[in-house]
Amino acid sequence: MPFRTRYTGLIERYRDRLPVHDDTRIISLGEGNTPLIRLNNIPRQLEKDVDIYVKYEGLNPTGSFKDRGMTMAVTKAVEEGSKAIICASTGNTSAAAAAYAARAGITAFVLIPDGKIAMGKLAQAMMHGAVTIQIKGNFDDGMRLVKDVASHAPVTIVNSINPYRLQGQKTASFEIVEELGHAPDYHCLPVGNAGNITAHWIGYREYSCTTADKVTEACAYCNGKCKFAGGAVTGKQPVMVGYQASGSAPFLRGGPVEDPDTVATAIRIGNPQSWHQAWKVKEESGGWFDECTDEEILAAQKLLAQQEGVFCEPASATSLAGAMRDVKSGKIPEGSSIVCTLTGNGLKDPDTAIQQSTSPVLTIDAELDEVKRAILNNME
């Protein structure tokens, strides 16, 4: 085997653990392999002895974890002869679908909620040449329409109800286990449709079940068939914790939410498509669901940007907002290692960032004295 230094995406990297054939044409933009950043300042401020890592999924090619699922979904759609893909989206799925369709040379149709999508995401869908359909309704309406139309037209759905999406997304857990040498004690995620929390659990399960001496109890996801052949991992699995925004928290309300509303538009979802899977993940991992207010979400987004230099979009900060609260209360005990998934890049939603920023922007004359004064007046 030649020594390969060029990273060519997660399908190539985890080929033996994904449903692809030797001759499958891989549609990739080099997604995955994202940084796992250990937080320095925030744990110190919490005055708790915990290790918090953020998995910065905003550094994927289109700026969110959706690329992990989309490389698989589009690769399989093309393999199956599909000429068009379709999705409903709060923004990031449409951005990823548009980009991977462009790469594959097929058409993407994206249904987005009229006016409720962050500007960066809309720009991406348009720039990559997707057919953008704004609907006078929310994500849940779009999802219903996509399911209906796909049974009447030759298009492949690439929402997370497409099982290949979760297969691609499970690789985030592989990367985390490989990087830490073991699974973390807790894994915290924002929850919208709940596909990603499900995918992460599949990833952790596959990793640990195949490294056990033998697969005694066939894992519900792979039935003991996955081909992963060991590595420096223990059989440990994390407790999975999912946080929803208070204005769109169906898991906390016990049923679908009619008019979901939150500043975290990526999780503005009232009727999660992976409802049952996510509850199974919670049961199996001994985890829990909780909610965060918009204020908590925005405060965590800002804290992360200002204290750690990491800029994520509002929905992503929900994982950290919830984790910080549970660390403070002791629900997540001291001594724990915690991974928070930062699902999307802060640049996706510049409007929200600028609106809530309190950092000074000074306007001065183009004179040396004025610059000097601005510096001296603003030294810490």
Ligand X SMILES: *Cc1c(COP(=O)(O)O)cnc(C)c1O
Annotated binding site: 92, 192-196, 343
Question: Based on CB atoms, which residue is closest to ligand X, 233 or 250?
Answer: 250
Instruction: Enter the tokens of residue 315.
Output: 């929905």
Find the helix or strand (DSSP H, E) in which 105 lies: none
Q: At what angle do helices 275-285 and 195-211 cross, to 10 degrees?
A: 40
Q: Is 120 in the site for ligand X (CB under 6 A)?
A: no
Q: Which runs of E-coded beta strand occur in 158-287?
A: 186-190, 239-245
Q: Is 270 in the site for ligand X (CB under 6 A)?
A: no
Q: Find the binder of ligand X among 344, 346, 349, 353 (CB under 6 A).
A: 344
Strand order in the sheet with 288-292: 36-38, 51-56, 337-342, 186-190, 239-245, 288-292
Q: Please, what is the minimum distance in Å from the beta carbon of residue 371 to ligand X?
A: 38
Question: Based on CB atoms, which residue is closest to ligand X, 193 or 237?
Answer: 193
Inter-residue contact 334 to 49 (CB < 8 Å): yes
Burial (CB count within 10 angstroms: exposed 0-12, middle 13-18, buried 19+), residue 64: buried
Q: Please, what is the minimum distance in Å from the beta carbon of residue 352 to ligand X?
A: 12
Alpha carbons 20 and 92: distance in angstroms, whole number: 24
Q: Please, what is the minimum distance in Å from the beta carbon of residue 351 to ligand X?
A: 15
Q: Among 18-26, 150-158, 186-194, 360-368, which window interacts with ligand X (CB under 6 A)?
A: 186-194
State the residue number with the nearest CB to ligand X.
344
Q: Find the binder of ligand X among 156, 196, 237, 271 (CB under 6 A).
A: 196
Q: Please, what is the minimum distance in Å from the beta carbon of residue 201 to ligand X?
A: 12
Binding residues for pyridoxal 5'-phosphate: 92, 192-196, 343
Q: Is 267 in the site for ligand X (CB under 6 A)?
A: yes
Q: Find the binder of ligand X among 266, 310, 320, 338 (CB under 6 A).
A: 266
Alpha carbons 84 and 101: distance in angstroms, whole number: 8
Question: Based on CB atoms, which residue is closest to ligand X, 301 or 316?
Answer: 316
Q: Find the binder of ligand X among 60, 62, 64, 71 (CB under 6 A).
A: 64
- Residues numbered 200 to 259 that lie near ligand X (CB under 6 A) are none
- Find, among 17, 152, 136, the residue nearest to 84 by Cα: 152
Q: What percent of the chain is helix, strand and coil (3-state, nearest 5)?
A: 45, 15, 40
Inter-residue contact 307 to 45 (CB < 8 Å): yes
Alpha carbons 105 and 127: distance in angstroms, whole number: 14
**Binding map of ligand X across residues 301-330, x = CB under 6 A, - = no contact:** ------------x-xx--------------
Question: Based on CB atoms, which residue is closest to ligand X, 196 or 285?
Answer: 196
Binding residues for ligand X, rule: CB under 6 A, are 64, 66, 92, 160, 190-196, 266-267, 313, 315-316, 343-344
